[in-house]
Amino acid sequence: MTTRILFVCLGNICRSPAAEGVFRMLAPWARTDSAGTSGWHVGEPPYGPMQAAARARGLDLSDLRARRIWPGDFEHFDLILAMDGATMADTEALRPEGNTTPLRVFTDYAPDRGANHVPDPYYTRDFEGALDLIEACARGLLADLRR
């Protein structure tokens, strides 16, 4: 059973902590974490505007802290989900030799949305749109895990 799931984005202060926060509410039995491919915000809580948008939907992200992904994550998780193609490529580059942990783009789980990545609200400022897409992907992920 896939129960250990890591969400990855660039800064680990917007998209991946939001994905973690949404998914842990839908599936409290799962062991979730998130990480960034950059180390720019290590130790910081999620970005204020993202926390505010999440809070308005009943999601508290305030306990989360940014960290950087490292090769050991491939051994510690059953599934790694990247928020976009660049994040996925940078994550794949860290895969230890012989490791087969699935690594996918999160939007694969919401094919009806027609998106191949989660646009970064740090730049777009569309926190609502990002949360809408993340919620759809999280619901699709949960349905996939139950199959």
Query: Residues interacting with ligand 4NP, by CB under 6 A?
Result: 9-15, 40, 120, 122
List of residues 6+ apart from 104 with CB closer than 8 A: 79, 80, 81, 82, 88
- Give whichever of 5 and 14 is closer to ligand 4NP, judged by the CB atom: 14
Closest contact distance (angstroms) between CB of 92 and ligand 4NP is 17
- Give whichever of 108 and 145 is closer to ligand 4NP, judged by the CB atom: 108
- Give whichever of 30 and 130 is closer to ligand 4NP, judged by the CB atom: 130
Q: Is 57 a catalytic residue?
A: no
Closest contact distance (angstroms) between CB of 36 and ligand 4NP is 6
As beta bridge partners, residue 33 has 6
CB atoms within 10 A of CB 22: 24
| Gyration radius of the chain over CA positions | 14
Please name the amino acid found at residue 79: L
Cα gap 64→114, rounded to integer Å:
29
- Which residue out of 14, 15, 33, 137 is catalytically annotated? 15
- Which residue out of 9, 24, 73, 137 is catalytically annotated? 9
Closest contact distance (angstroms) between CB of 37 and ligand 4NP is 8
Closest contact distance (angstroms) between CB of 29 and ligand 4NP is 26
The phi-psi region of residue 7 (left if phi > 0; otherwise alpha if psi is between -120 and 50; otherwise beta) is beta
Crossing angle for the helix pair 15-26 and 127-146, nearest 10 degrees?
40
- Give whichever of 11 and 140 is closer to ligand 4NP, judged by the CB atom: 11
As beta bridge partners, residue 105 has 82
Q: Is 4 a catalytic residue?
A: no
Q: Is 120 a catalytic residue?
A: yes
- Which residue out of 14, 73, 120, 137 is catalytically annotated? 120
24 is written with which tokens? 């842990």
Annotated catalytic residues are 9, 15, 120
